[in-house]
Structure formats: structure tokens, C-alpha cells
Amino acid sequence: MTQQTKSLADLLPVQEHYYLLHDGVKFARHGTPVAIGLLVFEDRERADRFCQTVGKALPAFQPVTVGAEEFMRLVEEVGAVCRADGLSVTVGTLRSPI
């Protein structure tokens, strides 16, 4: 598995909404040994593809659309986001590494 840590600005484009995975109670998180972040996708197609492949073991989590303002509130709570593309995982943090 490829792992990287980047800033949030390097990881995601500015959009009106993002796609997160939700199980009815909580949002999915994923990451590296260094940082765990809110699992985020730029579009529905990528979220669906993740659910059909890597996320197949987590059938309770389904893609949901979250507006940019709500997304940023969630990111601030968690402190990081995770963007997965197949087995490649990139984490973007709001805090600088220790």
C-alpha cells in the first residue's frame, strides 16, 4: 500500500460539496500509521468504486453528499482527511506533523 501525507490544500480541490461514507451514525475514517483522516472523495463515481472494491468489507458505509461548509467543520473535528485511490492512501492534515 502506498502511503503519503500532504496538506489539505494539496489533497483536495475547492468544491461546493464532497462525498463521504456514512453508516447512519458516523463517517468513515482511513489513513496511514502516521495519521487517520475523514475518508473523502471528489465525486460520486470514486466513492461508489471504493465501496465496490476496497470498501466491500464495510457494507454499512454508503456515499453521502456533504456541503463544503459542513465538510470543513467535520475536517476540523477530525484534523485530517484521507483520499484513497485503490490501495494508494494519501492523508491531508490540518496540523503540522509532530
Q: Where are the beta strands (DSSP E) in the chain?
A: 3-7, 17-22, 29-31, 36-41, 62-67, 80-85, 88-93
CA distance 57 to 52: 9
CA distance 37 to 86: 16
Q: What does the domain layout of the chain look like in residue ranges?
A: 3-93
pTM of the model as a whole: 0.83
pLDDT (tens digit, 9 = 90+) per residue, 3-30?
455 667 778 888 999 999 999 999 999 8
